[in-house]
Amino acid sequence: MAERKVTVVAEVGLHARPAATFVQAAAKAEGEVTIAKPGKDPVNAKSILAVMGLDVRQGEEVVIAGDDEMLLDELAAIASAP
């Protein structure tokens, strides 16, 4: 599995609209895609409840993992968007 480490820039972190956009993009993957805070267990990036349950705030780093390199780049861009 490939990984991307991203710092979340949005003021609201990865909540509400940014989380919904992230999950919608992750849902395009045929295989497993996960997101995690460093040192924490990864969660299913296709689940809005799991992503919001991470409580990712502005300035925190996340690790996004999956098999589709292009999709990981897209997810990293969403997570790091202001």
Q: Which residues are the active-site residues?
A: 15
Q: Is 30 exposed, middle or buried (0-12, 13-18, 19+ CB in 10 A)?
A: exposed
Give the CA distances from residue 32 to residues 17, 53, 80, 81, in Å, rounded to whole numbers and listed in that order: 22, 18, 21, 23
Q: Would you tell me the crossing angle of helices 69-79 and 16-26 to the nearest 10 degrees?
A: 180
